[in-house]
């Protein structure tokens, strides 16, 4: 069967998306807009974390949020009600991720001339979103304590592409078999350069550190 032609479609799709992502980053750079891509599994506290983070930053930055879900507008409404900032919902049509073109379509519905920071809350999933470059300036993810301290070993790609790993729900650590030192070791095995910040989104503990880390990244990007 040596005459059978094999076409690596997956590789071709990723290569095209990579070019589109680089073009989008360049466009955002020219407009002075910093795009943060936030990922995690469902139920980790992405929206609650964003609300706490936005309320700490909105006096310093002009912020807008894109909420990506398979369906519903629950999170977009929640963000707008809790923070008062511009928030739109992106429906993925059943897809478990966003790519660069889908992100561009979302950004076209935001007033970019009035935005310093655009936040993309990606679809809740630890696999698919990690495979597609959205064109973001920075990748961050949330790992919640109930998920366990071994997730970096099970989902290496997600952890390897993230600049920031937020460990949420540290208030419930006494009730789960979660070893923070082991978790940090597992993360840094996958990504030695990743910044790791433990937080409790509900109480706000640690969120100031996330806000300052992000402000530093935005300042470096704008140079």
Q: Is the four-CA dihedral 13, 66, 196, 218 of positive or negative sign?
A: positive
Q: How far apart are CA 114 and CA 31, in angstroms?
A: 10
Per-position pLDDT tens, the chain of length 223: 456 544 444 555 678 899 999 999 999 999 999 999 999 999 999 999 999 999 999 999 999 999 887 667 788 889 999 999 999 888 777 677 789 998 998 899 899 999 999 999 998 889 989 999 999 999 999 999 999 999 999 999 999 999 999 999 999 999 999 999 999 999 999 999 999 999 999 999 999 999 999 999 999 988 7
Per-residue pLDDT at 69: 77
Q: Is the four-CA dihedral 129, 132, 136, 113 of positive or negative sign?
A: negative
DSSP class per residue in 50-71: HHHHHHHHTTTS-EEEEEEESS
Does residue 170 contact residue 207 with C-beta atoms inside 8 Å? no
Rounded (10°) CA dihedral 204, 184, 215, 60: -10
Per-residue pLDDT at 1: 45
Per-residue pLDDT at 9: 45
Does residue 209 contact residue 197 with C-beta atoms inside 8 Å? yes
pLDDT tens figures, 46-73: 999 999 999 999 999 999 999 887 667 7
Per-residue pLDDT at 5: 44
Q: How far apart are CA 140 and CA 137, in angstroms?
A: 10
């Amino acid at each position: 069967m040596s005459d059978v032609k094999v076409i690596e479609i997956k590789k071709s799709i990723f290569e095209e998306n990579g070019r589109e992502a680089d073009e989008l980053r360049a466009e955002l750079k020219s407009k002075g807009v910093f795009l943060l891509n936030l990922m995690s599994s469902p139920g980790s506290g992405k929206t609650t974390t964003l609300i706490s983070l936005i309320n700490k930053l909105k006096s310093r930055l002009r912020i807008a949020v894109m909420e990506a879900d398979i369906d519903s507008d629950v999170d977009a409404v929640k963000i707008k009600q809790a923070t008062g900032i511009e928030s739109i919902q992106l429906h993925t049509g059943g897809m478990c991720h966003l790519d660069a073109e889908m992100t561009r379509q979302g950004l076209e519905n935001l007033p970019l001339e009035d935005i310093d920071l655009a936040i993309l809350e990606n679809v809740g999933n630890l696999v698919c979103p990690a495979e597609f470059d959205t064109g973001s300036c920075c990748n961050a993810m949330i790992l919640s304590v109930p998920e366990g301290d071994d997730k970096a070993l099970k989902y290496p790609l997600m952890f390897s592409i993230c600049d920031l790993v937020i460990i949420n729900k540290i208030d419930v650590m006494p009730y789960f078999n979660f070893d923070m030192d082991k978790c940090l070791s597992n993360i840094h095995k996958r990504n030695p350069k990743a910044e790791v910040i433990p937080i409790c989104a509900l109480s706000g503990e640690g969120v100031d550190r996330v806000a300052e880390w992000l402000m530093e990244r935005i300042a470096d990007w704008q140079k």
